[in-house]
Homo-oligomer: A and B are copies of this chain.
Amino acid sequence: MNIAEVARRSGLPPKTIRYYEEIGLIRPARSGNGYRAFAEADLHKLAFLGRARSLGFSIEECRTLLALWEDRARASADVKRIARQHLSAIDAKIAELEGMRATLANLVSCCAGDDRPDCPILADLAGEATS
């Protein structure tokens, strides 16, 4: 399998696949012409990586998850711990964004949005007490 087909079947861009090889996530074989020769196993790993990435796992987390996936003697507790940590990180990020959202939504609703210069959004950013 050449890279274009793997890209199509895995949903990952060729650039990303080459990058994953560069950082050691996959090790596809090489044909005589220097082209990467992907096996089905490589494709499965890439699909795994694509799904893990789409859940927001970092590359390093993906590396660990991939290693656990390939380790028949793994303990599911190790996987669960990583997933829970990531879940916490997601929750923290959501909370941060919700905070921003609340403030911003309030400011936006207070702004006339016309051609006059008076603007509660800028006033808030400037540190003027809104009270």
Task: Tell me the A residues contacting B by CB distance below 8 Å.
Answer: 44, 47-48, 51-52, 54-56, 65, 68-69, 71-77, 79-81, 83-84, 86-87, 90-91, 93-94, 97-98, 100-101, 103-105, 107-108, 111-119, 121-122, 124-127
| Of A71, A73, A104, most B-chain CB atoms within 10 Å | A104
Report the minimum CB–CB distance from A119 to chain B (whole Å).
4
* Inter-chain contacts of A94 with B (CB < 8 A): 94, 97-98, 101
B80 A122 Cβ-Cβ under 8 A: no
Cross-chain contact of A55 among B71, B73, B74, B104 (Cβ < 8 A): B104
Chain B residues, CB < 8 A from A48:
125-127
Q: Which residue of B lies closest to A112 (CB)?
A: B76
Residue among A71, A83, A86, A107 with max Cβ neighbours from chain B (10 Å)? A83
